[in-house]
Amino acid sequence: MPHSPITLGISFKMYFGYAQTLTWCRNVAASLTQHPAVLDGRVSLFVLPSFPAIAPVLDIFADSPVGVGGQNLYQSAYGAYTGEVSGAMLAEMGCSHVEIGHAERLRLFGEDATTVAAKVQVALEHQLTPVLCIGETEHGTPAAAIADCRAQIDNALSRATPTQRQQPIVIAYEPHWAIGASEPASLEHIASVCQGLREHMDSHPAASIIYGGSAGPGLLTRLAGQADGLFLGRFAHDPAAYESVINEASMLATPR
């Protein structure tokens, strides 16, 4: 069985408009009363909308256990950084999570390991749970992927204090070589890497290892507890599809 809780996150990236975001969130919020495992914390949910929609999404989920966060933050606490958003503002609004280090940020916006480490430190300083995205660039063995990803985690936490290292963190694994590829990573590869990362994070009891590539119904079950959850993409843009994954997680989280 996966470690409790099972974590299910979704980032809308820049796919949704403002009204579409709020409609999706209202539909999901209305269905949560059907999921005791969500309400009692055995299944943990977080949603990362575009920045302009964060405030109303926080209102929609105010009476639920769903976490809301940003898809990015700036690596300094405040200052003359036009167009950027600070961790302090996200925390002040009531956000609980923030996404850091996604492959698209690295590839399209030139972020590097130093930037990722700075952002993780800022997030932890403001009690935001980093959703740290990691993944190997080259397709190789699970052992090579584990070594690469462990180094990425260690670098990302290199500026964190010992106390901050005990704060919650979500490690979202997705091999970069599988993004947009005709064939996703194999189940054996995913399970091996997630297990290797979980072992690496044994000294971080509040860490969760989730998988973010081609995540859909049945994957949690097929992973047989090797991952602590999923970071969902376009599949979950349909609230009914998202609910189907929540149902699966609820079944896995329910004691037999």
DSSP letters, 127-193, are T-EEEEEE--SS---HHHHHHHHHHHHHHHTTT--TTGGGS-EEEEE--GGGTT-SSPPPHHHHHHH
CB 93 within 8 A of CB 73: no
Catalytic residue among 99, 111, 136, 174: 174
CB 163 within 8 A of CB 214: no
Considering the chain, what is the average pLDDT of its residues? 92
Determine the Cα–Cα distance for residues 231 and 170; give it in Å rounded to an integer.
10
Q: What is the pLDDT of residue 171?
A: 98
- For residue 102, indicate whether it is catalytic: yes
Q: What is the pLDDT of residues 4-23, one digit of tens each?
A: 699 999 999 999 999 999 99
* Segment among 1-5, 26-30, 68-72, 182-186 with least mean pLDDT: 1-5
- Residue 254 clears pLDDT 70, i.e. is over it: no
- Residue 34 clears pLDDT 80, i.e. is over it: no
Structure confidence at residue 33 as a pLDDT band (50, 70, 90): confident
Angle between helices 113-125 and 142-156 (to 10 degrees): 60
Model pTM? 0.94
- Residue 1 clears pLDDT 80, i.e. is over it: no
Strand, helix or coil for residue 108: helix
**What percent of the chain is predicted at pLDDT more than 90?**
79
Give residue 181's identity as a one-letter amino acid code. A
Determine the Cα–Cα distance for residues 149 and 119; give it in Å rounded to an integer.
18
* Segment among 2-6, 28-32, 141-145 with least mean pLDDT: 2-6
Identify the H or E element spanning 67: strand 67-70
Catalytic residue among 102, 126, 176, 200: 102
Q: Which of 237, 183, 206 is nearest to 4 (CA)?
A: 206
**φ, ψ of residue 174 in degrees (nearest 5):** -150, 120
Identify the H or E element spanning 11: strand 6-11
- For residue 183, indicate whether it is catalytic: no
Where do the domains of the chain lie?
Answer: 6-253
CATH code: domain 6-253 is 3.20.20.70
- Residue 223 clears pLDDT 50, i.e. is over it: yes
Q: What is the pLDDT of residue 109?
A: 96
Q: What is the pLDDT of residues 45-64, one digit of tens each?
A: 999 999 999 999 999 999 99
* Segment among 21-35, 42-56, 145-159, 169-183 with least mean pLDDT: 169-183
Q: What is the pLDDT of residue 180?
A: 72
Determine the Cα–Cα distance for residues 86 and 73; give it in Å rounded to an integer.
5
Strand, helix or coil for residue 241: helix
